[in-house]
Amino acid sequence: MIVPFAHVLIFAAILFTMGLGCVLARRNLIMILIGVEIMLNAAAVALVGGSAYWRQVDGQVFVVFLMAMTSAEVAISLAMVVYLRRRRGTLEADRFDGLRG
């Protein structure tokens, strides 16, 4: 580990907050998904940093699981984006205000 662990965690926290802000502020579905990606990568930074700090490989293994989970999530959510675009003709999240879908 080349830097204090606190700096790694602060870096991950800033990255996570940026992703959270993107999810909260942007109303386009693609941008919301990009915000989710940023948050997941912040979690990966924290995991790899912890793996280097405690000298255990488990953190890196969990990053691999995180990547698999992200792949599944992106596949499903982009399919939903295409589906919503076909049915509603828009990707603005504010337009999807009916519970019937």
Partner 1 sequence: MNTAPSIPGLWCHDMIGSVVFYLLAAATLTATLLCITRTSPVHAVIYLVHAFFDLALIFYLFGAPLVAAWEMIIYAGAIMVLFLFIIMMLELSPGGKPLTVDRRRWIPVLILSLVTLGCTVLLIIQDPSSAGSGTAYHASPRDFGTALFDHYALAVQVVSFQLLFAAVGAYYVGKGEPRKRGEQPS
Is 96 a binding residue for partner 1 by CB under 8 A? The answer is no
> What b/e sequence results for 5-38 when a residue is b if at least 16 CB atoms lie within 10 Å of its CB, and e otherwise?
eeebeeebeebbeebeebbeeeeebeebbebbeb
Half-sphere exposure (Cβ direction) of 2: Cα atoms closer than 13 Å: 0
User: How far is the C-alpha of 99 from the C-alpha of 54, rounded, in Å?
Assistant: 47
Is 43 a binding residue for partner 1 by CB under 8 A? The answer is no
Pick one of 21, 36, 96, 97: the residue that binds partner 1 (CB under 8 A).
21
When the beta carbons of 27 and 96 are compared against partner 1, the nearer one is 27
Residues in contact with partner 1 by the rule CB under 8 A: 1-11, 13-15, 17-22, 24-28, 30-31, 33-35, 37-38, 41, 44-45, 48-49, 51-53, 55-58, 60-61, 63-65, 67-76, 78-83, 85-87, 91, 100
